[in-house]
Structure 1
Amino acid sequence: MKKIFLQFIIISLFFNEGFTQNLELGKVTKKELEERVHSSDTSAPAAFIFKKARTYFTYNIKNGFECTTKFSIKLKIYKKEGFKWANFQIPYFVGYESLDDEKVYITKAFTYNLEKGKIDKQKVTGEGKFVEKVNELWQTKLITFPNIKEGSILELEYELRSPNLSELPTFQFQYNIPVDYAQLQTEIPEFYIYKAIKSGYVNVTLNDVMEHTSISYNNKYNQVEYLGYQQIKALYEVAEVPALIEEDYVSNIDDYYGKIQQELQLIRFPKEAPKQIATTWESVAKSIYEDKEFGAELNKNSYFLNNLKQITDKIESKEERLKAIFEFVKSKMTWNGRYGYYTKKGVEVAFNESSGNVAEINLMLTAMLKMSGLEANPVLLSTRDNGVALFPNRSKFNYVIACVDLDGKQILLDATEKFASINCLPTRDLTSNGRLIKKDGSSVEVNLIPKYNSNDVVSVLVNIDNTGLVSGQVREQYIDYNALRFRQKYAGISTENYLEKLESKYYKGIEVENYEIKNEKSIYEPVIETYNIKNNNVVEIIGDKMFFSPLLYLALTQNPFKQEKRQYPVDFSFPNKDKYQIVITIPDGYEIESLPKSVNISMVDKLISFVFSATKTDNKINISMSLDINNYFIPADYYDSLKEFFKVIIDKQNEKIVLKKI
């Protein structure tokens, strides 16, 4: 049986006596309350003293077996930065079609403080418990603990009850604060075989045994009966789990915390043939398409026929027809910020109100494209902030976009973003893959990451005078995803406010004059900025020599990858190319004494490449530099190489050009 459940290497840990004691709620000590820093991580704002969960099955005559997981949590607050842990969130699923909603019951919730040498215990009242609707599929129970101080201890016990046996509640062993001890115990009837899937980088011990048990239930005559069977009891344990801190360039840190997820593989009741349960992404997609809030809404079209005829009349080109429909939906519809692949009020009502959720807008777009004669289908995906599903799971999808097959090429479209263009999705959509589904129920995986590099091209033409003042003109072009990000970030901001941000962006400071911008609203064109600059802090004069960096004020000065080690991948969101062309006219009476040497290097498999050259022509210095991030996703195994690669880039950008007075 162990082979069925254990999908990862067991590494034995020896728990010291501290973890075998005081692992029950209600046993808070003065010593614990007096502690002011965590024993192994003095920077920690808070820490789990312990987190435990027990998953067990109950039985009733109406629904059969159901699953309950009881969580017990004891958490210590060390610093004010840890006060946010006093607002606890418990998500639960309410989007089942044929099952009851999941339910959360708070059984204990207390704040402990040391008041004048005595332990003060304060209960969370009804005013500290709320339910918040996340979307049509999920709700969250919020618990707000009272009287939080540095040194407080929080205790929470709650039950999560679910009729869905296809997957058990995820148990998380690791957070961005330390976990002193974590334990998951599962008691699973022999009739259900689950596959345990471990994620993250936490080494967990597992001990499991087969044992006999029985449970009572009321029969249809309301008489108590007993059901006896064998169950598999598994105990997962881990101690002294360090915090996993979110670093730059990560899509969703939640994907990398240590967790256990369990997927139902097989049902084997006595006198019945075993039933394979583990599903596929194809079957998940098909079941979603068959739901009335999806497939039926996609097939509606009467509400837009008049508008479709007007906007496509006399347009014969498929490309132009696609563009016209896409721009119509973007201009007409306003996204209400709600995710989900199900419609809430329906596409027709959303169309008439000019507002809707993701599903209403993009299913509407897909339907209009299909009606115009294009081969269009919806694509289900999980957004970057929603994380990666480790096994097929309809609850993991939270978004839908449109895809058009045009002359053998896939065109991806998302009309919720006003600044998105054809095949340029909002970055929230840029997870590795989505799943395209067709009316016949078939589906196929779709790569959502762009295959081309988005360019950021900077051209600088400047003069240096005898005092070291740098002045001239800058032209910068933001292309594709760089243009999308620029428009999203600065749409609606005044020029005056933007220039303040631009001048403060560079630590050496610049003065910006005669600023102009083109194509800020023309989304199919690059955003182009031009402006004049003055900077008196770039050139250093020592004696009869001048020293300055080849990229002037544009040089990187700090390596973005500072950590000694990194456990999870580096995610740049999309492939990118930074290109600089700089021409510097040196002052009269000076000559070029030295220039940085040229460099042309690449990481393994050309994941990233860097080219730099500095040449001179008469009294001008020509600098050319390009940094190509050809693969947006850099595995953690390459982190040391990546850090060293960027060190070379920064050193080269800051290597001095030397001018000497003649």
Structure 2
Amino acid sequence: MSRNFKFLMLCLFAVSSAVAQKFEMGKVSVEELQQRSHPADSSAEAAILFKKGETTFDYSPEQGFLMTTKVRTRIKIYKKEGYDWANFAQDYYKENNNSRERVSFSDAVTYNLENGKIVKSKLKSDGEFDEQVNKFWGRKKITMPNVREGSVIEYEYSVTSPNLTKLDDWDFQTSIPVNYSEYKTEFPEYFVYKTNQRGFVFPKVTTDKAMKSFLITGKERTGGEGFSTVKTTFTQDKIDYEATKTTYIAENLKALKDEDFVNNIHNYTAGVSHELSVIKYPNSPMKFLSTDWVSVAKNIYENDDFGAELNKSGYFEDDLKALTAGTTVIEEKIGAIYNYVKQHVKWNGFYGYSCNDGVRQAFKDKTGNVAEINLMLTAMLREAGFNANPVLVSTRSHGISFFPSRAAFNYVIAAIEYNGKTILLDATEKFALPGLLPTRDLNWLGRLIRKDGTSTEIDLMPSILSKETVSIIAGMDATGTITGKVRNVMTDYNALSFRQRYAGMKEDDYLERLENNNNNIAVSEYKRENEYELSKPLTETYSVSDSNDTEIIGDRIYITPLLFMNVKLNPFRQETREYPVDFTFPFEKKYSVTIDVPEGYTVESLPQNVNFATESKFGSFKYLIAQSGNKVQAVITLDVLASIVASDEYPVLRDFFQKVIDKQNEKIVFKKI
């Protein structure tokens, strides 16, 4: 062997050893602790130095196959803003002993550099917490000790579960840089899993086969006849099987930055998910699971905490009769039942499509989770004679599932079908209405389940335009100070969003925000109408004084027609975009502006009228302006007709909004006479 070849082999061995050591728990280096910022992202508050997970299966004589996922993580904290990364929580299922999951933490240590030496702070019992989320779920949490800027933290946790149907999603990417992410699965031949990769970064994938085995212990009793003693003989049978090992590795992943108008960034996070699709034990017929959405919905409906709760009605019959007595108008009857449930049973903040304490108890306690409230609403509507059914939903925060799964849903609402239309209802939101769901529900498609267990897909996205109509009547003196009146009328989701955000806020706090958000105008004589009359448009009126939105140059005054409400920057400034643009709901924003020509001035020029739309008709813009006597009148209308605009349409959307912004910033010019 040549000297050069030996030297090369030694170098390769040294490199491979260093790489392997870098991903070992407890081997934190001084260099890692001394690092002040991430080499590829100086703005990062923290970084995942490595995260390694492995899911394996072991056979238990009492419970059969159990699935265990072990995760080892090392995180570097660069800034105080990254301290939250020193906290971690893992949910676990706990309803009964047969399906209960076990979560444990180990090797949780914070490392700091003090006087050139590495100091370890181990997690103690007072930093570990076990919380009850609801009847079905618990949550174990850790808070790492002695965390500061520059710390490196490590922890390991494992989750053992008899529920083999779905593995926890593995995210390679997150909101901070990830240096190295590795995930391994080892599936016995008896289980076939569907695999789905999401996001725009794909890991390196390798697959291998290996033989595994487990032991089955049996016992046999003999004797006992006559005077013979009973003997118990134990036997062990070794069962060999083939396992499929798959390894996913991703390195040097950039921080995933959330953007404006994104539904749920997790939908686009690089990751992998697995769902059990087939069970094929020896000498047994194959069992197919979660093969389609119809089967998933039917299984959920047949659950005692779901379908059975819809059949309970005795607890509300007297109240329902009183509510609907003498009412023949369908809309009024629906509204009466809906408002009764909304006001009688308050939402406790818990999601889920399964009841926790049940609809009867929720009715008695006047509080319940999502399922208890909306299944109660569905049952009452059915009892009143309506064709009402539950609709399974995945909320915006829960994300979008790519294949059939019970875990794809985390919420349930109600639906009424009549006269060829469907009305969706959610009684957990105090500002919602029949047909006007909380925005958390607006997540593409739901699954409506009928009494016979059949189901169908249903569009959750609103089709009506939510409108905001602003009227401004203003005058201006020779110094350029604008005074006038403003009236703002909001309908549907614009009104709902306003009520959620500002109802109950002190008026002084709201007015301060209103003034600051409109270029420091001065607001007086503020009034708000229909704040709690939900079926009516919400209206606010106020007087305004503004000296910041006029420009005087020589004998001319320059203003934009939208005055202090003018938008100067395009919300879509990126050249490219990977994610769809999610407006949540289609909307119209319309301004009617009347401006008195200042005394001693005349109109020298006005912007040109325009009317344009995108080719695919998801957006349109009209700009009409004219002089009438001593007044300038403008009507400016922006319509966005699609809730969601695909990423390949982003260049068109960006250019459309830029044209809108440019047009709105054109000036009216008044010239001194």
TM-score range, shorter chain: over 0.9
Look up the match of 1:38.
38
1:89 aligns with 2:81: no
Check conservation: 2:290, 2:405, Cα contact below 8 A. Answer: no
SS at match of 1:487: helix
- Say if 1:358 and 1:416, in contact at 8 Å, map to a contact too: yes
Percent of residue pairs identical? 46
Q: Flag the 1:546–1:247 CA change in 2: closer, same or farther, 3 A.
A: same
Match of 2:555 among 544, 549, 559: 544
1:599 and 2:598 aligned: no
CA distance in 2, matches of 1:216, 1:26: 34
Assess if the C-alpha contact under 8 Å between 1:465 and 1:586 holds in 2: no
Q: Could you say if the C-alpha distance between residues 655 and 73 of structure 1 is closer, same or farther in structure 2, counting changes exceeding 3 Å?
A: same
In structure 2, relative to structure 1, the CA distance for the partners of 1:275 and 1:333 (3 Å cut) is closer
Partners of 1:541 and 1:506 lie apart in 2 by 20
Residue 343 of structure 1: aligned partner: 355
State the partner residue of 1:485.
Answer: 497
Match of 1:28 in 2: 28
Per-residue deviation, 1:630: 0.9
Q: Is 1:557 matched with 2:556? A: no
One-letter code of the match for 1:353? D
Do the aligned partners of 1:135 and 1:339 also contact (CA within 8 Å) in 2? no
Q: Name the aligned partner's letter for residue 479 of structure 2.
A: T
**The one of 578, 583, 587 aligned to 1:576:** 587
Any idea what SS the aligned residue of 1:587 has?
coil
Matched residue type, 2:169: T
The CA distance in 2 between the partners of 1:124 and 1:100, in whole Å, is 29
State the SS of the aligned residue for 2:306: helix
2:209 alignment partner in structure 1? 210
Q: In 2, are the aligned partners of 1:136 and 1:342 still within 8 Å (CA)?
A: no
What does residue 8 of structure 2 align with? none
Equivalent in the alignment of 1:68: 68
- Partner letter of residue 23 of structure 2? L
1:638 maps to what in 2?
649
One-letter amino acid of the counterpart of residue 332, structure 1: H
One of 400, 404, 407 as aligned partner of 2:416: 404
Q: Does 1:55 align with 2:55?
A: yes
| CA offsets 1:270-318 (integer angstroms, 9 cap, x no match) | 3334333343222222222222222222111111111111111111122
Q: Does 1:587 align with 2:598?
A: yes
User: Structure 1 residues 585 and 141, CA, compared in 2 at 3 Å: closer, same or farther?
Assistant: same
Matched letter for residue 596 of structure 1: P
CA contact (8 A) 2:467 2:492 kept: yes
Give the deviation of 1:334 after TM superposition. 1.7
Greater mean alpha carbon deviation, residues 28-37 or residues 643-652: 643-652
1:313-364 deviation line (CA, Å, top 9, x unaligned): 1111222211111122222222221212222222222222222221221111
Task: Quote how far apart the aligned CAs of 1:239 are.
Answer: 0.7
Q: What TM-score do the two structures reach when normalised by structure 1?
A: 0.94
Between structure 1 and structure 2, the one with the greater Rg is: 2
Q: CA deviation at 1:617?
A: 2.0
| Change over 3 Å in CA distance of 1:331–1:168 after alignment to 2 | closer
RMSD: 2.0
Find the counterpart in structure 2 of residue 302 from structure 1.
314
Q: Which residue of 2 aligns with 1:11?
A: none
User: Residue 460 of structure 1: CA displacement?
Assistant: 0.8
The equivalent residue for 1:8 is none
CA distance in 1: counterparts of 2:537 and 2:318, whole angstroms:
33
**CA-CA distance at 1:219 after TM superposition:** 4.8
How much does 1:173 deviate?
0.4
Cα distance in 2, alignment partners of residues 17 and 470 from structure 1: 73
* SS across alignment from 1:606: coil
Distance 1:223 1:632 in 2: 65
Residue 21 of structure 1 deviates from its aligned partner by 4.6
* 1:427 counterpart = 2:426: no
Match of 2:177 in 1: 178
**How far apart in 2 are the matches of 1:615 and 1:527?**
29
Question: 3-state SS of the aligned residue for 1:303?
Answer: coil
**Shift of residue 266, structure 1, vs aligned partner:** 2.3
Contact kept, 8 Å, 2:58 with 2:67, in 1: the verdict is: yes
> For residues 316-465 of structure 1, what are the structure 2 equivalents within 5 Å?
316-465=328-477
2:125 aligned with 1:126: yes
In the TM superposition, residue 559 of structure 1 has moved relative to its aligned partner by 2.2
Q: Number of residues paired by the alignment?
A: 646
More divergent stretch after superposition (545-554 vs 494-503): 494-503
What is the letter of the counterpart of residue 631 of structure 2? K
Q: Compute the displacement of 1:169 (Å).
A: 2.7
Per the alignment, in what secondary structure is the counterpart of residue 336 of structure 2? helix
CA contact (8 A) 1:173 1:259 kept: yes
Moved more, 526-535 or 510-519: 510-519
Kindly indicate whether the alpha-carbon contact (under 8 Å) linking 1:88 and 1:144 is maintained by their aligned counterparts in 2.
yes
What secondary structure sits across from 1:337 in the alignment? Answer: coil
- For residues 582 and 271 of structure 1, the distance between their equivalents in structure 2, rounded to whole angstroms, comes to 79
Structure 1 unaligned spans of 5+: 1-14
Q: What are the Cα deviations for residues 196-238 of structure 1, in whole angstroms up to 9, with x where unaligned?
A: 1001111211111222223456556776653322211111111
Structure-1 residue corresponding to 2:264: 252
1:141 is matched with which residue?
140
Structure 2 length-normalised TM: 0.92
Task: State whether residues 297 and 447 of structure 2, in contact with CA within 8 Å, keep that contact through their aligned partners in structure 1.
Answer: yes
Q: In structure 2, do the counterparts of structure 1 residues 409 and 205 end up closer, same or farther at CA, with 3 Å as the change threshold?
A: same
**Are the counterparts in 1 of residues 275 and 405 from structure 2 also a CA contact under 8 Å?**
no
Cα distance change, pair 319–178 in 1 and its aligned pair in 2 (3 A): same
User: Contact 2:93/2:99 (CA < 8 Å) preserved in 1?
Assistant: no
SS in 2 for 1:169: coil
Per-residue CA deviation, residues 17-45 of structure 1 (Å, 9 max, x unaligned), is 97555111111110111001111111111
What's 1:474 paired with?
A: 486
Moved over 6 A (4+): 15-18
* Separation in 2, partners of 1:411, 1:319: 10
Residues 60 and 218 of structure 1 are in contact (CA less than 8 Å); yes or no, is this contact kept in structure 2? no
What letter corresponds to residue 90 of structure 1 in structure 2?
Answer: Q
C-alpha offsets along residues 541-562 of structure 1, whole Å, 9 cap, x if unaligned?
1110001112100011222223
Answer whether contact 1:135 1:340 (CA < 8 A) is retained: no
Structure 1 residue 79 and structure 2 residue 101: aligned? no
Q: Match for 1:660: what amino acid?
A: K
Give the whole-Å Cα distance in 1 for the aligned partners of 2:118 and 2:501: 49
For 1:81 and 1:153, the matched residues in 2 are separated by 15
Give me the whole-angstrom Cα distance separating, in 1, the residues matched to 2:575 and 2:626.
36
1:540 deviation in Å?
1.0
Aligned to 1:10: none
d(CA) in 1 for partners of 2:234 and 2:47?
A: 47
> 426-435 vs 131-140, which deviates more?
131-140
Partner secondary structure for residue 391 of structure 1: coil
Gap change, CA 1:137 and 1:567, over 3 Å in 2:
farther
Q: CA deviation at 1:421?
A: 1.2
| Alpha carbons of structure 1 residues 260 and 296: separation in structure 2 relative to 1, 3 Å | same
Question: What SS does structure 2 have at the residue aligned with 1:272?
Answer: coil
Distance 1:134 1:598 in 2: 58
Number of the residue aligned with 2:228: none
Q: Contact 1:470 / 1:536 at 8 angstroms: preserved in 2?
A: yes
The letter of the residue matching 2:560 is S
Partner deviation per Cα, 1:27-76 (whole Å, 9 max, x = no partner): 11101110011111111111111111111110122222221111111111
1:430 to partner: Cα distance: 0.9
Per-residue deviation, 1:454: 0.3
